[in-house]
Amino acid sequence: MPDAANAATARDGRGEAPIAVSVRHVNMVYNGQHAVKDASFDLPKGNFLTILGPSGSGKTTLLRMIAGFGAPTSGNIVINGRAVGAVPPHRRSIGMVFQKLALFPHMTAAENVAFPLKMRRRDARTIPDKVERYLNLVRLGGLGDRRIHQLSGGQQQRVAIARALVFEPDLLLLDEPLAALDRKLREEMQLEFRRIQRELGVTTINVTHDQREALVVSDEIIVMDKGEIQQKAQPTETYRQPNNPFVANFIGVTNFLQGKALSFEAEGEVRFLHGDVVLRGRAGSAAASLGNGREVRGALRAEQIRIAAEEAALTGLDTVVSGEVEDAIFEGERVVYEISVPALDGAILRVFDHDVVGHTQFEAGRRVFLGWTVKDVLVFAG
Amino acid sequence: MKAARTAYPIRWRVMDALEAVAGILWPRFFRAGTPYLMLAPAILLVGLLVLGLWQMADASFRTLDTNTFLLSEDYSLANYKRAVTESLFITVAGRSLVGSIIVTVLTLVISFPYAYVMVRTPSATLRKFLLIALFLPFFIGQVVRAYGWLIILGNQGMVNEAFGLIGIAPMRLLYNYPAVLFGLVQYMMPFAVLMLAPALTAIPEEIEAAAGSLGADWVRTFRHVVLPMARPGFVGAGLVVLTLSLTDFAIPAMLGGGSQDFIANAIYDQFFRTSDQGLGATLALLLVAVGSLLVGLVFTLFGAGTLAMGRVKA
Ligand SMILES: Nc1ncnc2c1ncn2[C@@H]1O[C@H](COP(=O)(O)OP(=O)(O)O)[C@@H](O)[C@H]1O
Ligand SMILES: [Mg+2]
């Protein structure tokens, strides 16, 4: 297994953290369908990784294989240098917080937290102290005697986290445990996950379909679609430099402009023909796939488009077009416009205006000007 | 006006008329009583039962006059004295009690894996097969089933023939205590499985997975998580099996061949053979008392299980 060997030696190279989890060409096939297809990645110790993807993209399947529920159809998973192929979950040192929490309803909060210590036969005298310490860590001090059904949703989350961490596992897995919470509580718990993870330094893999959560909590993000890893990068890079149209579309609000490539120029600039208009952007895919005549798509984020009443206000931008406001949605911290642009074959562009206080809102039917620069447009093959 | 008529379809007007009639027959201020009215048939049935019990209580205090074959006019405790002192009755009672407890334990032990696989299997085909196999005996009925056992376990039955092939002398597999217990377990299994299955369904698979990831192997997951969480199912199933086998008549009669009577068989003998209705009633009442005592004991020890009623705790 040359890849696994690479993973093991990666730590020496540039003084990086050692690899905690190494996933190598992992496949999971259900009834002839790939739930996970050829997944490979390395996760350094202490990192907070989020697997982000739409429902059914294979996130849970991948996480469960790492936890030891269901062996991969093919491929290898190495945790702390040990191939874990046939190791059952209870012999792995992995704390997992489940989608529905899976707390034991017949036990108190403290008994839930003590459970893994008892199952792992830790010194009985140290258990009460440890339980208290971890209940305090998740800010549930004094609530240990409560039954699970006597706790609020947020408090139950905290019990689940304490229970998954109390035995000091090598790895913490979170399978969308926040999905069912209301937005305020969810955002509060996201920050809690981050605080606790930093405090303990435990290597963490979090699964979510919530792009905001992924961007807020993670050191790195893996974007998945249809069982395949689309991109693995830091949050800012995932956002700024998506690998392909799926990632560009899944994270943020992106306008796509279909076209045919005209020329590939120096410094990665691509010209392409959209309708009768020549547009420019920077290459998002390999140069070879953006050659003359190829089908391409330009991706343009809604917040990168400037909007103004007068053309003169947009001087200095590379592309300026005029359009008509179809719809204006006031969302508080921003206004979302849908604007039809005749010069772009009547394409409807979504545009954010964040200067809600400074600008007067354009009404539907109003003629406006839109502008952006070459580097705002990422050009992908396809 | 025509437009209004079409907008108000005939069906609605019929319903209105029906409602008006119902309003006259059962005025609005009676409405609160409707749910209680629906209880009436059940109360009537239970009432009849109580009435019967009362009659039996009366009979149990009268002794049989062997000359006239009528019950005596005067009341005494003679029947009760016979019931608790005569060795025949003590043997029968002991056999029924011990037997039903053994049957309950065995049935629960055997039914749990069956229910577990039935609930947890990812294969719909296997689940259907297990369900059908479970219900099949219900369609066959107790008598035919017991007869089946005669064919299989009889002296010239299949089992003894198989033994013969490997050189084991035929042995008596029927008309003994184990045969009765065996028959009872087989008869009770569907009831137990049907009561355990919902309790197991109520335990999310994720909970068992969680126990695994927290360090529990399957034995400890079963002991510390599944068993306590399925307890209502076990208690409910145990109660049903215990009371049904304690009071069973057909299987001890057929597989015991008269030598392995349970209480119900003794009662039958008193009512229909000796015609001592007084003693029969006494035995029946004692059976009711012992059964209630056992149920009460289980309730206090383990809670009322799935038979418990009342609102679900939030
Ligand atoms: N036990 C299973 N049997 C058959 N198909 C499954 C099973 N688990 C998951 N799948 C399929 O695998 C795909 C990925 O599922 P999952 O990993 O749960 O996605 P996610 O967690 O991203 O929503 C889905 O199409 C799902 O139907
Ligand atoms: Mg999932």
Choose the final residue of a domain: A245, A264, A285: A245
Asked which of A245, A265, A287 is the last residue of a domain, the reply is A245
Residue with the bigger pLDDT between A278 and A265: it is A278
φ, ψ at B96 (rounded to 5°): -65, -45
* Per-residue model confidence (pLDDT) at position A233: 97
Query: Residue A119 and residue B211: Cβ atoms within 8 Å?
Result: yes
Same domain, A330 and A233: no
- How much of chain B exceeds pLDDT 70, in percent? 95
* Mean pLDDT across B221-231: 94
Tell me the pLDDT band of B299, cut-offs 50, 70 and 90.
confident
Q: What is the DSSP string of B11-79?
A: HHHHHHHHHHHHHHHS-GGGGGGHHHHHHHHHHHHHHHHHHHHHHHHHHHTS-EETTTTEE-SS--SHH
Residues A236 and A269 grouped into a single domain: no
Q: pLDDT category, A29, cuts 50, 70, 90?
A: very high
| In a shared domain, residues A106 and A71 | yes
CB of A155 closer than 8 Å to CB of A140: yes
Closest residue in chain A to residue B206, using alpha carbons only: A102
Over residues B110-137, the mean pLDDT reads 93
Contact between residue B63 and residue B73 where contact means Cβ atoms under 8 Å apart: no
Say what the pLDDT of residue B305 is.
64
Q: What is the pLDDT of residue B157?
A: 85
CATH fold of the domain at B77-308: MetI-like fold (1.10.3720)
Q: What angle do CA B59, B61, B63 make, to 5 degrees?
A: 85
- Contact at CB, B213 and A163, closer than 8 angstroms: no
Q: Give the confidence band of A213 by pLDDT, cuts at 50, 70, 90.
A: very high
What's the pLDDT tens digit per position in A181-203? 888 999 999 999 999 999 999 99
Residues A287 and A357 in one domain: yes
pLDDT exceeds 60 at position A3: no
Together in a domain, A260 and A223: no
pLDDT tops 90 at residue B248? yes
Percent of chain B with pLDDT over 90: 61
Looking at residue A356, its pLDDT comes to: 82
Give A295: exposed, middle or buried? Use CB within 10 Å, 0-12, 13-18, 19+. Answer: middle
pLDDT surpassing 80 at residue B31 = no
Query: Pick from A213, A245, A277: which residue ends a domain?
Result: A245
Same domain, A237 and A273: no
Cβ partners under 8 Å of residue B294, min gap 6: B242, B243, B246
Q: Percent of chain A having pLDDT more than 90?
A: 80
Do both A241 and A257 map to the same domain? Answer: no
- What's the domain range around A377? 253-381
What's the complex ipTM? Answer: 0.81
| Minimum distance, in Å, between the CA of residue B221 and any CA atom of chain A | 9
Q: What is the mean predicted confidence (pLDDT) over A111-125?
A: 96
Mutual angle of helices A183-200 and A127-137, in 10-degree steps: 130
Per CB-CB distance under 8 Å, the chain B contacts of A88 are 212, 217
B6 pLDDT more than 70? no
The answer to whether residues A159 and A117 belong to one domain is yes
CATH number at A12 reads 3.40.50.300
Q: Which residue has the higher pLDDT, B34 or B52?
A: B52
Interchain CB contacts (distance < 8 Å): A and B: 66
More reliable by pLDDT, B167 or A73:
A73
pLDDT at B306 over 80: no
Which segment of A125-129, A372-376, B146-150, B220-224 scores lowest on mean pLDDT? B146-150
Of A168-177, A257-266, B95-104, which range is least confident?
A257-266
Residue B57 vs residue B26, higher pLDDT: B57
Ligand 2 centroid vs A223 CA: distance in angstroms?
A: 14
pLDDT at A62 over 90: yes
A168 and A201 share one domain? yes
Measured in angstroms, the CA of B228 and the nearest CA of chain A are apart by 7
**Reported confidence tier of residue A15, pLDDT bands at 50, 70, 90:** low
Domain count of chain A?
2
Q: Are residues A303 and A263 in the same domain?
A: yes
Two structure tokens written together for B97: 């009690």
Residue A10 has pLDDT above 60, yes or no: no
How large is the average pLDDT for residues B249-262?
Answer: 91
The beta-carbon neighbor of A120 closest among B215, B224, B225 is B215
pLDDT (average), residues A133-137: 95
Ligand nearest to the CA of A58: 1
Closest ligand 1 atom, CA of A175?
Answer: 21
What is the A208 CA–ligand 2 centroid distance (Å)? 8
- Mean of the per-residue pLDDT values of chain B: 89
Of A14-23, A207-216, B264-273, the one with minimum mean pLDDT is: A14-23
Q: Is residue A222 located within the same domain as residue A284?
A: no
pLDDT tens profile A277-318: 899 999 998 888 888 888 999 999 999 999 999 999 999 999
Q: Is the pLDDT of residue B153 over 90?
A: no
Structure tokens at A35: 């739930």
> B218 vs chain A: nearest CA distance in angstroms?
9
- State the ligand closest to the CA atom of A174: 2
- Whole-number pLDDT of residue B314: 38
Tens digit of pLDDT for each residue in A36-46?
A: 999 999 999 99
> Which has the closest alpha carbon to A116: A137, A132, A95?
A95
pLDDT at position A86, please?
Answer: 84
Give the distance from CA B77 to its chain's centroid: 31
The pLDDT of residue B309: 56
The pLDDT value given to residue A85 = 84
User: Does position A9 have pLDDT exceeding 70, yes or no?
Assistant: no
Q: For residue B247, is pLDDT > 50?
A: yes
Residue B177 has pLDDT above 70, yes or no: yes
* DSSP letter string, B293-304: HHHHHHHHHH--
C-beta of residue A138 within 8 angstroms of C-beta of residue A97: no
Q: Kindly state whether residues A375 and A232 are assigned to the same domain.
A: no
Specify the CATH number for the domain of residue A371: 2.40.50.100
